[in-house]
Structure 1
Amino acid sequence: MKLSNKLLLLPAAFAIALSSVSALFHETAPAFAQAAISLSLNKSQAAPGEEVKASGKYHPSAWVSLRVIDASGAVLVFDAVRSGDDGSYSFAFTVPTQVTGKLKVFAGSGSDVGSTEVEVAGGGGGPSAQPSAAPSAAPSTAPSAAPGTAPTPAPVQASPAPSAAASVPLSAGNGSLTYAPVLSGAGGRQAAAVTVGEDDIRKALSGGASRLSLSVQTRGADSVTVELTPSAARQWLSQSSAAFLDVSAEPGSYSLPATVLKSAVTGPAGLRVTIAKATERQKQDVSSAAQKQKFILLNASVDFKAGIVREGAEQPIDFGSTYVSRSIPLPDAVSPAVTAAVRYDEKSGKLVYVPAVFESRDGGMAAIIKRNGNSLYAIVTGSASFKDVPAAHWGRSDIELLAAKGIIGGSGSGMYGPARSVTRAESVALIVRGLGLEEKAGVSAFRDVAASAWYSGAVNAAYQAGLVNGQGDGSFHPGEPVSRQELAVLIHSALKYARGGETAASMKPLAVFADQASVASWAKEAVAEDAAAGILRGTPAGRFEPAGTASRAEMAAMLKRMLQTMKFIN
């Protein structure tokens, strides 16, 4: 069996040893590794409305996020900036009104976090301050009203506004929470923040809703951060009805599955979701990449992040092989055949295709992006044609659709080579791109895959995802043509990966090919399920030809049908 969907398993004894070592480190390690970032403020005390400057050093040209948190854990300020070539960075934020006491200031990226504090005095009440009751109206000293006229009411003193740090839902119930957020400004950007408490979650889910929806009502905010306190996160994850947390705001929406988060949110940990419009630097990076790759940008880029929060520091959630949905509203109708969702890859400076479908939503259109990771996303249109794929070619529409989305490319000089046999390396690279997997650099598990080869990152990603195992002798044979039954196994592995390891229950027995007896035993299940899904089709003579090779045109057709089956494209 040349291509397999089986995962590499560690010997039991070795796995137990690793578990013991892991437990030892978990017992002795501090909550966070020593921060590799410096952070200082230009003042230790500030008044509400006063500007505070934060600065420090980190890795050169790296993104650094800033968060200012009050004593209740509410996020008052959120911003992000890229450090300079020497690693230096700086922020400026304004201390919100109606806040007193100490504010914690965090700056960092991932597990590299620096923190400090600023004392706030002279504000209009701490975060936990409640509106005071209105005093009784003073007796009126005005003369009695004339008979038949209404008396003039005495003035009543208005209650003070609630604390700016408080997150009180506008509505709660039927699985839904709606908030008006705390707004703050820093670095020329407006940030909206909401902190969700345990009682709010309990009220929203009292009726046993199947989803928990958090809606933030704000217009014009550059970023929206929603944070569930540790008790609120536990309240959501401990119940059995709401399988998803949907966070929606003006820039977009994010849907998080409880199945993934139950194992990630442990102990005193909260959950933070940030949906942010691209910063000016990010806009420049995305625009430059789009021009180089001949894409047309259709919208402003949106940065989606979801992380686990412990003691104010955030660590990205590892979604594993679970595809998580996020949506971006579109200003106009689009043609799904030439429109794609892409993520900006900072390492390569390129826009990379990610699975997405385009559908009508709320009176307009939206891109529903599916990926198992956080990133900066944009929506683009593209077009492609090849000199050797004429209008009459049976595979032209499939080839041009995938090329417009950035999944496949030509062979140089405007040619595609539709009749040429696809190699094992090419087939794996196309499947990895179609799944939206991130390529993995480094030494390969296969002795004949050089780290410098163009396909090395894709083969490594496929191996780590359990899509391929090679030839059994430590080799992969990347330049050999892939057989049709090997390709069927690879596609079957991709289908199972996208479904979280499950096989579709609706699959029928092996389609009746005239040469079905020639299908190898290790490929029969894959051929049967791929054919039942409509991904594999026989020759005009009704044969499958399992040992035959697949052309690049046939590969494009099967890849398109696979992605449609997964609902990764329209």
Structure 2
Amino acid sequence: VNNATEGRITDLKGATPTPTPTPGNPSTGGGPVVTPAPTATATATPAPTAAPQVTTLTAETLTAQFAALPAGSNELVIPLTSTTGGAQAVLPASVLVQQAAANPAAVLTFNTTDGTSYSLPLSLVNGTALAAQLGTSNFTITVSILPASTTVLGSVNQALAAQAGSVTLAAPVIEFSISAQAGNNSVPLNSFGSTYVSRTIKATQTVNPDNATAVSFDPATGKLSFVPSVFTTQADGTTAVTIKRNSNSYYTVVQSSKTFGDITSHWAKSAIDLLASKLIITGTSDTAFSPSQSVTRAEFAALITRSLGLATASSSGTSFSDVNAGAWYADAVYTAAAAGLITGYTDGSFKPNSPITRQEMAAILSKAMKYTGKTLSSDPAALAKFSDAASLPAWSQTAIAEIAAEGIIQGQPDGSFAPQKSATRAEAATMLEKTLKALGFIN
């Protein structure tokens, strides 16, 4: 986050898909990893999982439904019947590829009878890459909305018990997945680059969004992670939770309430409580947040990847001389770098333990908002209000103007911006809260 060359945004939707399904999407951030307890050897055969209700659409039917859409409409809604085993839709890929070429904004939304939904932008179906992987262009796309197995539910409950404070389940645990299939070959579609796909889960009760969040669960690590989510109270008193993420996994909703003893009368208390309850930020201990303490570059990399709900990415060719693979922040740093959110210094270092400056934070927040598709405006008037505007470094001026115009970053009490000043933990929490609200990633 300096004037070095910006990192390249990795767009996975155009990459050759991985031929073997993955169990989920790793989450980011430091702290202990909760490993699911080993399964005891059982002599009895487990009860079979109920089969999902499968809805198969022919090319003729799907083409006719698209043709019947009103002019200017980009969304085709497909109703699915859901049983105790969930719901699946099987679709001809050729029609999806044709429709995506004709209308790149086209979206297929699947609504199940139990209140769950999934919206698939057709632009994510890379027909060429999938045909090469499967060895044929004659393949189908299967969209699955399935309840978690008993084994996964047990692991989710373990993860809940390991969280600080009280964290309880407030919705079913649902696995959303997409796969391309030809004969016996199957290729999962799990990573969507910077495209955030919406899915909806119905909470089992009325939920206060200030004390709840949607989470993803990764069976491989046993970890729960915040995912962007907006809560809407329905007419029947239940709550619909719309989850936005650029990958597939297991998802659910949890109720959580967290605060710290050292922020009782602090100006940033509401932002800190909100993000702590959403499992985005943690304290310096279980009871202290240390709001005036500076934030390191590694800590903010973890915060921004967690806030965007990014699944862990490999280094994607990026490497920093001072980020060791075993460091708690290594995954977060390389995930943020792969998404083009952070860069290192010209000497190849990242300086993970250096305090992050206000201008560096502004630069990361600007990139993060653009990554999600948000358009920002570099308003000169937003810069002019700072008394030190004339001395702001050229490399950070645009980002500061964009973030200030969004109302996310404020000046100091003396009217300056203070670009080189270290950002505090309270400032980081407040700016992240405003960023997430501006993106529609939280209520």
1:223 aligns with 2:86: yes
Q: Flag the 1:270–1:233 CA change in 2: closer, same or farther, 3 A.
A: farther
CA distance in 1 between counterparts of 2:276 and 2:154 reads 24
Residues paired across the two proteins, number = 409
What is the TM-score when the length of structure 1 is the normalising length? 0.66
In structure 2, which of residues 206, 216, 223 is the aligned counterpart of residue 343 of structure 1?
A: 216
Shift of 1:236: 3.5
Spell out, residue by residue over 1:111-153, the C-alpha distance to the aligned partner (whole angstroms, 9 max, x if none): xxxxxxxxxxxxxxxxxxxxxxxxxxxxxxxxxxxxxxxxxxx
Aligned amino acid, residue 285 of structure 1:
S
CA distance in 2 between counterparts of 1:405 and 1:457 reads 21
- Identify the residue that residue 314 of structure 1 maps to in structure 2: 186
The structure that is strand-richer by fraction is 1
- Identify the residue that residue 468 of structure 1 maps to in structure 2: 342
- Identify the residue that residue 285 of structure 1 maps to in structure 2: 155
Aligned amino acid, residue 67 of structure 2:
S
The structure that is helix-richer by fraction is 2
Shift of 1:450: 1.3
Q: Aligned ranges for residues 268-279 of structure 1 at < 5 Å?
A: 268-279=138-149
Shift of 1:554: 0.6
Aligned amino acid, residue 179 of structure 2:
G
Aligned amino acid, residue 366 of structure 2:
H
1:447 aligns with 2:317: no
Spell out, residue by residue over 1:212-241, the C-alpha distance to the aligned partner (whole angstroms, 9 max, x if none): 1110134x4322110102344345434428
CA distance in 2 between counterparts of 1:344 and 1:63 reads 10
- Identify the residue that residue 170 of structure 2 maps to in structure 1: 298
Contact 1:3/1:467 (CA < 8 Å) preserved in 2?
Answer: no
**Partner-residue secondary structure (3-state), 1:544:** coil
Percent identity, aligned pairs only?
Answer: 35
Aligned-pair Cα RMSD in Å: 3.2
- Identify the residue that residue 202 of structure 1 maps to in structure 2: 63
Contact 1:5/1:493 (CA < 8 Å) preserved in 2?
Answer: no
1:237 aligns with 2:110: no
- Identify the residue that residue 47 of structure 1 maps to in structure 2: none
Shift of 1:493: 1.0
Shift of 1:562: 0.7
Aligned amino acid, residue 195 of structure 1:
T
Q: Any gaps of 5 or more consecutive residues in structure 1? A: 11-21, 37-61, 65-81, 93-185
**Partner-residue secondary structure (3-state), 1:288:** helix
**Partner-residue secondary structure (3-state), 1:337:** helix
CA distance in 1 between counterparts of 2:45 and 2:181 reads 21
Shift of 1:312: 4.2
Spell out, residue by residue over 1:458-497, the C-alpha distance to the aligned partner (whole angstroms, 9 max, x if none): 0011111111120111101111111111111011111111
Contact 2:104/2:122 (CA < 8 Å) preserved in 1?
Answer: no
Contact 1:441/1:456 (CA < 8 Å) preserved in 2?
Answer: no
Contact 2:226/2:280 (CA < 8 Å) preserved in 1?
Answer: yes
Aligned amino acid, residue 7 of structure 1:
G
CA distance in 2 between counterparts of 1:190 and 1:375 reads 19
CA distance in 2 between counterparts of 1:85 and 1:221 reads 24
Spell out, residue by residue over 1:241-271, the C-alpha distance to the aligned partner (whole angstroms, 9 max, x if none): 8610001112611001122225566522321
Q: Flag the 1:3–1:412 CA change in 2: closer, same or farther, 3 A.
A: farther
**Partner-residue secondary structure (3-state), 1:352:** strand
Q: Flag the 1:413–1:371 CA change in 2: closer, same or farther, 3 A.
A: closer
Q: Flag the 1:292–1:265 CA change in 2: closer, same or farther, 3 A.
A: same
Shift of 1:453: 1.3
Specify which structure has the bigger relative contact order, considering alpha-carbon pairs within 8 angstroms and separated by 6 or more residues.
2
- Identify the residue that residue 509 of structure 1 maps to in structure 2: 380
- Identify the residue that residue 2 of structure 1 maps to in structure 2: 2
CA distance in 1 between counterparts of 2:353 and 2:428 reads 16
**Partner-residue secondary structure (3-state), 2:2:** coil
In structure 2, which of residues 322, 327, 330 is the aligned counterpart of residue 456 of structure 1?
A: 330
**Partner-residue secondary structure (3-state), 1:473:** coil
Aligned amino acid, residue 254 of structure 1:
Y
What is the TM-score when the length of structure 2 is the normalising length? 0.84
Q: Flag the 1:230–1:456 CA change in 2: closer, same or farther, 3 A.
A: closer
Q: Flag the 1:476–1:556 CA change in 2: closer, same or farther, 3 A.
A: same
- Identify the residue that residue 122 of structure 2 maps to in structure 1: 258
Spell out, residue by residue over 1:313-367, the C-alpha distance to the aligned partner (whole angstroms, 9 max, x if none): 3212231111111000123221111110111122321211111111135644211
Q: Any gaps of 5 or more consecutive residues in structure 2? A: 25-35, 132-136
**Partner-residue secondary structure (3-state), 1:189:** coil
**Partner-residue secondary structure (3-state), 1:326:** strand
1:415 aligns with 2:288: yes
**Partner-residue secondary structure (3-state), 1:205:** helix
CA distance in 1 between counterparts of 2:39 and 2:151 reads 14
- Identify the residue that residue 403 of structure 2 maps to in structure 1: 530
In structure 2, which of residues 343, 353, 357 is the aligned counterpart of residue 479 of structure 1?
A: 353
Contact 2:318/2:338 (CA < 8 Å) preserved in 1?
Answer: no
Q: Flag the 1:538–1:346 CA change in 2: closer, same or farther, 3 A.
A: same
CA distance in 2 between counterparts of 1:360 and 1:412 reads 34
Shift of 1:567: 0.9
Q: Which has the larger Rg?
A: 1
CA distance in 2 between counterparts of 1:4 and 1:494 reads 17
Aligned amino acid, residue 6 of structure 1:
E
Shift of 1:448: 0.7
- Identify the residue that residue 43 of structure 1 maps to in structure 2: none
CA distance in 2 between counterparts of 1:242 and 1:217 reads 26
1:366 aligns with 2:240: yes
- Identify the residue that residue 192 of structure 1 maps to in structure 2: 53
Aligned amino acid, residue 240 of structure 1:
N
Aligned amino acid, residue 367 of structure 1:
V
- Identify the residue that residue 298 of structure 2 maps to in structure 1: 425
Contact 1:272/1:309 (CA < 8 Å) preserved in 2?
Answer: yes
**Partner-residue secondary structure (3-state), 2:379:** coil
Contact 1:535/1:561 (CA < 8 Å) preserved in 2?
Answer: yes
